[in-house]
């Protein structure tokens, strides 16, 4: 066996390879720097740097290095909650003709509420174990769950605590009821003006299905 090592030669490389704007509040704008490293400036010409998503703009910055082009990418903000993905496209010509380089862009617009996007109920000893969900406020404002339900009727959804900056909801399979599907979603009506309706998906699992998967990991927060 012969092991080889080396460097992959590219005409244009982005630094960083991906742009992460992190978690932003609704309407919040942000800026990130980006550099394009041209390996052979005499043989490679960057024609255009563009973004199809109108929420992002890119502006060239002054650079004394001929082999490095500097830019500033701006996110103008969004009032819509959720994950945002875009791509910055670099059109250039090199020894092999016209080429393109894509730089992925990620950011998350989050409201005031924190809650798990999904959860699961495990079946142990012939019964599904109840699961408790926590809905909390990033700003420490009072959180109220006005109503809670499973539209499919598989689970009982009960508000067990609604005090201060967090509320707790208990999911359970009613005794004597055998679910007809392996999952669904619960809907929570809240007092939050940006997220009056919170939807959390759930799955029903047996203990055997989780064997060999290692310890249960904490759920991500929205």
The pLDDT assigned to 100 comes to 95
Which tokens go with 176? 């004597």
- pLDDT at position 209: 45
- Are the CB atoms for 110 and 152 separated by under 8 Å? no
Predicted local distance difference test score (pLDDT) of residue 147:
95
Report field, pTM of the whole predicted structure over 0.75: no
- Residue 220 is predicted with a pLDDT of 46
**pLDDT at residue 214 in the model:** 47
Q: What is the pLDDT of residue 8?
A: 66
Residues in the chain: 222
pLDDT (0 to 100) of residue 162: 83
pLDDT of 179: 81
pLDDT at 208: 54
CATH superfamily name and code, 113-209: Immunoglobulins (2.60.40.10)
115, 135 contact by CB (below 8 A): yes
Q: Look at the domain 12-109 and name its fold.
A: Immunoglobulin-like (2.60.40)
pLDDT at 6: 74
Q: What is the pLDDT, as a whole number, of residue 155?
A: 95
pLDDT tens digits for 53-68?
A: 999 999 999 887 888 9
Predicted pLDDT at 217? 45
Tokens read off for 98: 């016209």
What pLDDT score was predicted for residue 178?
A: 80
Q: What is the pLDDT of residue 7?
A: 67
Ranges of the chain whose pLDDT falls below 50:
209-221
Q: Kindly list the distances between the CA atom of residue 136 and the CA atoms of 79, 80, 176, in Å, as whole numbers in the listed order.
A: 20, 20, 32
**Segments making up each domain of the chain, as ranges:** 12-109, 113-209
pLDDT, tens digit, 9 for 90 and up, residues 104-147: 999 999 999 999 999 999 998 888 999 999 999 999 999 999 99
The answer to whether the beta carbons of residues 180 and 166 sit under 8 Å apart is no
């Amino acid at each position: 066996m012969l092991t080889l090592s080396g460097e992959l030669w590219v005409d244009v490389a982005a630094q960083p390879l991906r742009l992460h704007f992190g978690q932003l509040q609704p309407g919040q704008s942000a800026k990130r720097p980006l550099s394009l490293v041209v390996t052979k400036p005499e043989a490679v010409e960057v024609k255009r740097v563009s973004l199809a998503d109108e929420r992002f703009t890119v502006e060239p910055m002054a650079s004394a290095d001929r082999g490095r082009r500097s830019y500033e990418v701006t996110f103008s903000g969004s009032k819509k909650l959720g994950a945002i993905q875009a791509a910055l496209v670099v059109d250039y010509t090199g020894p092999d003709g016209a080429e393109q380089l894509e730089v992925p862009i990620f950011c998350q617009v989050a409201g005031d509420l924190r809650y798990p996007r999904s959860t699961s109920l495990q079946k142990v000893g012939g019964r599904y174990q109840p699961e408790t969900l926590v809905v909390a406020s990033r700003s420490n404002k009072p959180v109220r769950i006005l109503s809670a339900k499973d539209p499919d009727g598989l689970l009982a959804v009960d508000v067990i605590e609604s005090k201060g900056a967090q509320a707790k909801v208990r999911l359970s399979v009613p005794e004597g009821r055998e679910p007809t599907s392996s999952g669904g979603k619960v809907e929570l009506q809240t007092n939050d003006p940006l997220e009056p309706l919170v939807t959390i998906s759930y799955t029903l699992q047996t203990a055997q299905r989780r064997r060999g998967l290692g310890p249960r990991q904490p759920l991500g927060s929205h």
